Structure 1
């Protein structure tokens, strides 16, 4: 089941407490581009299949990561891409976007995603009971 664009963004906006959908979209685009660089193969394809088209394309054509970033470096990278962001606001951005992505993915796929990421991402996905 693909999550619709409006539904995805409105959830990100709600969780991130953004004033506008533009802010939510900017966070979502950045986080998806960075996440896509960390996922490979079927897991990335399956997640893309459950996201709105725009985010699916971003996920499938990611920024290239030389190595999987541990969560704190992922947050730093996100902060670097979002104008005016700090590591604290980036943590908020990443959690808002990834928790909605986890909702779209469902528990089983989210568990597979977490297996491809360095330890510590479970909290960012809002799934602290995993791994």
Structure 2
């Protein structure tokens, strides 16, 4: 999976079908339906974690169907760490943490490309530790 660099271009104009095909490829899912279920579940979970301008700006960069899955969620009162996000997703989809981590990576790598590096930086700054890796980025330990 590609790692975003500062020069990475923002992917514009991706349709929902193109997004699903890319997630299907990244996640090695056997069907489009499985990819779509994964996209909707991961984006709903992410929609419970981000707020404010970052949420609005990210939704604007997603295809309409994906934006709806993200924006239709009520943000959680207490945000989850990256690992908490994966465990919560596993519980909601009835899978294991390992499969939920795989699903998360398959979707959020595509979302990272759609967001672009500047917006992704803002999103990650808002989230607790552990999300950088979920978006396919190296994450440095924060200074104490």
Q: Could you say whether these structures have the same fold, taking a TM-score greater than 0.5 normalized by the shorter chain as the test?
A: yes
CA contact (8 A) 1:70 1:120 kept: yes
TM-score (norm 2): 0.84
**One of 100, 107, 130 as aligned partner of 2:110:** 100
Aligned to 2:42: 31
Whole-Å Cα distance in 2 between the matches of residues 123 and 9 of structure 1?
21
TM-score (norm 1): 0.92
Aligned to 1:77: 88
RMSD across aligned positions (CA)? 1.5
- Cα distance, 1:129 vs. partner? 5.7
Greater helix share, 1 or 2? 1
- Cα distance, 1:64 vs. partner? 4.1
Whole-Å Cα distance in 2 between the matches of residues 130 and 3 of structure 1?
30
Written as runs of structure 1 = structure 2, the 5 A alignment for 1:2-21 is 2-21=13-32
Name the SS of the counterpart of 2:53 in structure 1.
helix
Whole-Å Cα distance in 1 between the matches of residues 105 and 72 of structure 2?
21
Aligned to 2:3: none
Aligned to 1:59: 70
Whole-Å Cα distance in 1 between the matches of residues 138 and 128 of structure 2?
14
- Cα distance, 1:63 vs. partner? 4.8
| Greater C-alpha Rg | 2
Unaligned runs of 5+ in 2: 1-11
Q: Compare relative contact order (CA 8 Å, sep 6+) and give the higher one, 1 or 2.
A: 2
Aligned to 2:137: 127
Whole-Å Cα distance in 2 between the matches of residues 2 and 130 of structure 1?
32
Once the two structures are superposed, residues 68-100 of structure 1 have per-residue CA deviations (whole angstroms, 9 ceiling, x without a partner) of 1011111111111224x1100000000111110
Unaligned runs of 5+ in 1: none
Give the count of matched residue pairs: 130
- Cα distance, 1:3 vs. partner? 2.1
